[in-house]
């Protein structure tokens, strides 16, 4: 089984940024043309892209909508979008515009029926974000931490028809500490839903380890800062993930 590599484009005030541990005050700007960045990833061989409206995650609704639309128009592959998607109207709007998958986090915890209905109506299109601080689900742009464990959260949707779980270890995100492979594999083994790994990817070693565990239910990996900082070559990552 091959692993999908999702280069990440995180949007803040229309710019391409990366945060450290989800902290909006610890943002590094990598560019002011998100569509151009999407094209660069496509030229390197990426067929999938993970886009996050960071401002939207905190605001609870689309903030960087124009930048997202520009990315979707420019990128020839599949775009997965998260950040502030918390109602049916927003879900439908992005599918209508051409987004392949939408990621639902806060609303999945607070309104699970929304996820169930959307997963039924848009087969293969709904991803549930399971963002964790110390094993507990974090919401609202990771600003709040719930009393729900990530495994309990995941199991709530096993019969809902969601396409995947997006697991992020918030404490590692944007810090290049290395992906929490052990926790990702544990989650994949604990549920029947494919898992996408995110947070802390530092280099090709993380891609290789996750690819080894694709058979355990790991569908893909999201990587951002390692690409932008030149610590990870996208073409090399895609080659390792395809083995």
Catalytic residue among 10, 53, 55, 169: 10
What are the pLDDT digits (tens) for 72-89?
999 999 999 999 899 999
What are the pLDDT digits (tens) for 129-147?
888 776 677 655 555 566 6
On average, the pLDDT of the chain sits at 90
Q: Please give, one letter per residue, the 3-state secondary structure of the chain.
A: CCCEEEEEEEEECCEEEEEECCEEEEEEEEECCHHHHHHHHHHCCCCEEEEEEHHHHHHCCCCCHHHHHHHHHHCCCEEEEECCCCCHHHHHHHHHHCCCEEEECHHHHHCHHHHHHHHHHCCCCEEEEEEEECCEEEECCCCEEEEEEHHHHHHCCCCCCCCEEEEEEHHHCCCCCCCCHHHHHHHHHHCCCCEEEECCCCCHHHHHHHHHCHHHCEEEEEECHHHHCCCCCHHHHHHHHCC
What are the pLDDT digits (tens) for 9-50?
999 999 999 887 667 888 899 999 999 999 999 999 999 999
Catalytic residue among 53, 55, 131, 173: 131
pLDDT exceeds 90 at position 150: no
Q: Annotated catalytic, 131?
A: yes
Residue 214 pLDDT: 95
pLDDT category, 172, cuts 50, 70, 90? low
Section 183-192 average pLDDT: 93
Q: Annotated catalytic, 144?
A: no
């Amino acid at each position: 089984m091959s692993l999908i590599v999702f280069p990440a484009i995180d949007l803040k005030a229309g710019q391409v940024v990366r945060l450290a541990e989800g902290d909006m005050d610890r943002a590094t700007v990598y560019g002011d043309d998100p569509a151009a960045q999407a094209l660069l990833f496509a030229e390197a061989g990426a067929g999938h892209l993970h886009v996050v409206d960071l401002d939207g995650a905190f605001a609870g609704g689309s903030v960087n909508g124009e930048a997202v639309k520009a990315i979707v128009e420019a990128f020839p592959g599949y775009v997965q979008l998260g950040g502030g998607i918390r109602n049916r109207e927003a879900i439908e709007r992005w599918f209508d515009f051409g987004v392949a998958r939408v990621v639902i986090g806060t609303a999945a915890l607070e309104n699970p029926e929304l996820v169930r209905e959307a997963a039924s109506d848009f087969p293969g299109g709904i991803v549930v974000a399971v963002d964790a601080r110390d094993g507990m689900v974090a919401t609202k742009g990771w600003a709040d931490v719930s009393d729900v464990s990530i495994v309990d959260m995941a199991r709530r949707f096993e019969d809902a028809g969601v396409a995947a779980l997006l697991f992020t270890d918030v404490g590692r995100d944007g810090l290049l500490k290395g992906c929490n492979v052990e926790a990702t594999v544990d989650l994949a083994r604990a549920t029947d839903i494919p898992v996408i790994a995110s947070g802390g990817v530092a280099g090709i070693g993380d891609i290789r380890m996750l690819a080894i565990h694709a058979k355990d239910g790991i569908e893909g990996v999201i990587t951002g800062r390692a690409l932008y900082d030149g610590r990870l070559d996208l073409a090399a990552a895609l080659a390792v993930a395809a083995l």
